Structure 1
């Protein structure tokens, strides 16, 4: 099982009423939650961990996980409200305003962390769940206790959400040192590593711990930097409706391809060749293309691919 560990929240997506008024409609979401849903729809045995509210929004989150076949028994129901993320779109690009104080996610306690058994072969981390305390400390602690499991990480950096940059960078540094696979956008990579050529920055990031560093570059596709060189997959040309959930779906496609090939072990990831990486990048790109071609974070099933 791949256990996705990170935020579950409600995306308030912009819509228009029948009277022509601007409105927001609630949809289950969160970067790591979206990746779990996408993995489940791709037929991969998937689990999800994050404390979820026992309110009506928490019930919607659990129903969505159930609908995708994602196990969530490790996620405690708590008497704290659900995080809300209001989304605005500019030329299809999403911007977010988070309402997170005192929530099921933000106030996660170390006592709420799951005990991992042998059914968990890989862990996925990322998103805003790594930014703030106490939840950021909790997810970093879980990562540090991953044992011999594969760890993939997508920081999915939201600069406007960061209040303690030095603390956040220190947390990411520790998690990067443990991660086997790291996926970043080109914008994330520059935030982490500064100015420079993408290839040089990606190789610099790889020296900090990860065996594979994936950089997504929008219409230019995605590259995976590894010990054997660089693998590349082109982006699929589609008419973009919005980009909500695109990167999250890419992560799921990449992990699903490794799972299909029986390569989700630390030894296998350390020695991935260009062919295996290209196949995984291609499935990630293909799945993401479906998501961006329709509204909201609505990843495809395996049959749709």
Structure 2
């Protein structure tokens, strides 16, 4: 959980938006009608009050972890296409992360996985041991990732602890320069995930398992910025997978296609707004019905 300070056109005026990868995902899940529990930390300061109010407004069940730090801040500036670049001031000294009983997924990634990998990886192992599927979005931020070879080793170790792995073309280009992103995404299944999802910006997304490959386009929108769009995408994906209750080892083309349709729509709508402002279920149009479809039969 952090605050994104997004630069205006003049490059000198900043607007504060609550953010942080897993926090954005938790908020998006809750706005889509699911229950989201966020284990996190932020300071007893002005930005902390801002993010706490934001979480409460979206009905996120927030569990505070022991910490002595201030609220983390990310300075963001966008290019002419609305794509953000970041500069971070991060305080995240978490030592352990307790699991939540009955969760459909444990989702993690982004700064948490880079700054406190030992605590995050211990939680991932504990979740898998308890039978809870693990979702990972590395959301690589070069300014915090460290040397590429170190970041690549960390990513591959964490990917091996994940059941669902969501990566962007930008992630893969930074981790594996010059390689074809589709081929690389398919090869990541070797590390252990049962589902790998590649986001491709305006070209939509591709989901691959050892048995299936499913693509869906992204809805066309006027992009304001891309802040939080990948997190919103992940929330849409996990929301459908959780509600369908299809074991990840038996995913079918319909379930994956519906999950991608919801995910790309949620991500696109977020791109049409300033900051990580994901939509509610009643803003999804026709794809909202895919959220309400119950568990698969058979």
TM-score of the aligned structures, taking structure 2 as reference length? 0.89
The answer as to 2:106 corresponding to 1:123 is yes
Decide which moves more: 198-207 or 285-294.
198-207
Q: Give the stretch that moved more between structures: 138-147 or 162-171.
A: 162-171
- 1:207 is paired with a residue of what secondary structure? helix
Q: Does the Cα contact within 8 Å between 2:42 and 2:72 map onto a contact in 1?
A: no
Alpha-carbon distance, 1:87 to partner: 0.7
Structure-2 residue corresponding to 1:13: 6
In the alignment, the residues of structure 2 paired with residue 161 and residue 47 of structure 1 have an alpha-carbon distance, to the nearest angstrom, of 26
Structure 1 residue 175: Cα displacement: 1.6
1:242 is displaced (CA, Å) by 0.9
SS of the equivalent of 1:178 reads: coil
Aligned to 2:34: 44
* 1:214-293 alignment runs, 5 A limit: 214-263=197-246, 268-293=247-272
**Deviation string for 1:147-174 (max 9, x for gaps)?**
2101111101112222244443333222
Shift of 1:296: 1.1
Give the distance between the partners of 2:18 and 2:238, measured in 1 at CA: 22
Listed as ranges, the gaps of 5+ residues in structure 1 are 1-7
Kindly indicate whether the alpha-carbon contact (under 8 Å) linking 1:54 and 1:78 is maintained by their aligned counterparts in 2.
no
Give the TM-score taking structure 1 as reference length. 0.87
Larger deviation, residues 217-226 vs 75-84 = 75-84
> In structure 1, what is the equivalent of residue 64 of structure 2?
75
Is residue 122 of structure 2 the alignment partner of residue 141 of structure 1?
Answer: yes
- The CA deviation string for residues 228-257 of structure 1, in whole angstroms up to 9 with x for no partner, is 221011110111111111111100010111
Please report how far the alpha carbon of residue 21 of structure 1 lies from its aligned counterpart in structure 2 after TM superposition: 8.6
Deviation at 1:81, TM superposition (A): 0.8
| Bigger share in helix | 2
Describe the shift of the 1:158–1:247 C-alpha distance in structure 2 as closer, same or farther (beyond 3 A): same
Which range moves more in the overlay, 28-37 or 185-194?
A: 185-194
The secondary structure found in structure 2 opposite 1:145 is: helix
Give yes or no for contact 2:189–2:210 (8 Å, CA) kept in 1: no
In the TM superposition, residue 117 of structure 1 has moved relative to its aligned partner by 4.4
Distance 1:273 1:189 in 2: 26
The alignment status of 1:85 with 2:74, answered yes or no, reads yes
For the aligned residue pairs, the C-alpha RMSD in angstroms reads 1.8
**Candidates 90, 108, 128, aligned match of 2:94:** 108
Q: Which secondary structure does the structure 2 equivalent of 1:149 belong to? A: coil
1:30 to 1, 8, 20: 20
Query: Residues 201 and 166 from structure 1, CA distance in 2 versus in 1: closer, same or farther, beyond 3 angstroms?
Result: closer
Query: 2:229, 2:271 within 8 Å by CA — same for their partners in 1?
Result: yes
Closer, same or farther in 2 for the Cα pair 1:189/1:164, shift >3 Å?
Answer: closer
Q: What is the alpha-carbon distance in structure 1 between the residues aligned to residue 252 and residue 2 of structure 2?
A: 36
Once the two structures are TM-superposed, the CA of residue 259 in structure 1 deviates from its matched residue by 2.0
* Aligned mates of 2:215, 2:148 — CA distance in 1: 32
Greater CA deviation, 198-207 or 186-195?
186-195
